[in-house]
Amino acid sequence: MEAPATLLADAAWVSARVGGAAKLYGCSRPEVLGTIWWYSLSSVLVAPSVESLVRDGAPLDPSLDAVTIDLVPDGRFTGARSSRILDGGLAELGEAFAATLGTAIGTISAVTGANPRALGAIATDSIGNRLLWTGDTERAISLAAPLVAAIGLGMPEPRFSRIGRNTVVRRASCCLIYEAGNPKCASCPRQTPEERDRRLRAALG
């Protein structure tokens, strides 16, 4: 199924979707479920513009009225797409992202009580990851900080680390999934650096 991204401004729709996340991730406080839900959604939401920026140099427009989100009945997100190309450079992309991310974060925070700064940090990490997943590591790193700075919203600067032969995002955010009875992610910042590096090396090979 698909949904217009403009629904991210609809508190009733967001509340229903976040409530459904309990079936996937386990029952927990609303702010925890809202954070977990945003962790999944933000990666999909930023992908079309970020990936086209690296691939084509001309990003797709991340504005809510240009984006359609693909999801399955159980609430998982499978992708997103934008219907138009954005004219201009990083400043224009940052402005469009600020409106989209600011609206989504504002709605989720209002509905669930999730900390908007924590949600902004998740968006930073999603942008960093999506840039890296294009496969052009040097360009990903060079674009990450300027793009996040152009967005603003108090989002932290993206950080990267080398783990063996791999470059990974050094996360500024926590998805809180462990508060819903699940294991911490390998890259979770709420563990010692030594434990995080050990788990990432094991996961990456």
86 CB burial (10 A radius; 0-12, 13-18, 19+): buried
Tokens of 191: 């563990």
Contact 158, 169 (CB under 8 A): yes
pLDDT tens digits for range 65-80: 999 999 887 778 899 9
94-97: long-range contacts at Cβ-Cβ below 8 A with a sequence spacing of 24 or more?
Answer: 94/147, 94/149, 94/150, 94/151, 94/152, 95/150, 96/49, 96/61, 96/62, 96/63, 97/46, 97/49, 97/62, 97/147, 97/150, 97/151
pLDDT tens digits for range 161-184: 888 888 888 888 877 776 677 777
Split at pLDDT 50, 70, 90, the class of 193 is confident
The percentage of residues in the chain with a pLDDT greater than 70, rounded to a whole number, is 97
Ranked by mean pLDDT, the top range of 30-34, 155-159, 166-170 is 155-159
Tokens of 65: 């009225």
The model's pTM is 0.91
Edge-to-edge strand order for the sheet containing 2-4?
2-4, 67-71, 77-82
Amino acid symbol at 81: R
The domain locations on the chain are 2-157
87-124 b/e (C-beta count within 10 Å ≥ 16 → b) = eeebeebbbbbbebbbbbbbbbbebbebeeebbbbbbb
